[in-house]
Amino acid sequence: MHEASVVIARPQPCEQLVLIFHGVGSSAQDLAPLGRALAQACPGAAVVSVQAPYPSQLGRGQEWFSVIGVSEDNRPGRIAQAMPQFVQTIRHWQDVMGIDAQRTVLVGFSQGAIMSLEGTQMLEPLAGKVIAMAGRFAQPVRQAPAGTQVHLIHGEQDGVVLPQWSVQAHQQIGALGGAVTLDLLPGLGHGIDDRALQLAIRHLASPEGP
């Protein structure tokens, strides 16, 4: 399943690993331009745009879980079913690049951000940083993300994944003592603009600590 992912940069040696996760109905190729921009800004990083494993039931692209008939009640179960393969995918690329979890960054958009955020609730950290754009948790944050900085980027005009979900996640992680930042972007809908890109680059290059 990993053959459809796009390896954008693989410097030798690698200082960190950046895994990019697209939204439902999209593909690894669709976020390759984002990956190229991140690779150019961080030349020491291996960058991979990851292809979700399942054909989307929306009729095009790929997905980690179906959004047909998705609800607040059934979303957590769908994510829990997809999570083992998500974790295996992260571990696969860490092994390929010779990078540990602490030097791994997950950059997710929409469903890719949802999977990345929910991955922070695992007992063992999957990554040192998660940059979640237009994402949300499927349920209230259960624990502070152990050893993981979380950076939330969200358009204030997002009508697909409402920005209130990132506001709530910021409050909940902060209340649990986790490392988290929140950037709300006026005028941005459900997408990634240059402001979101520049924030992602800044968070990618930032030292430890929010």
Q: Which residues are catalytic?
A: 110, 158, 190
Identify which of 87, 44, 41 has the alpha carbon closest to the alpha carbon of residue 203.
41
- Cα 24 to chain center, whole Å? 13
Sort 35 into a burial class: Cβ within 10 Å, 0-12 / 13-18 / 19+.
Answer: buried
Q: What are the distances in angstroms from CA 101 to CA 98, 117, 127, 130? A: 10, 15, 4, 11
Residue 15 token pair: 């200082």
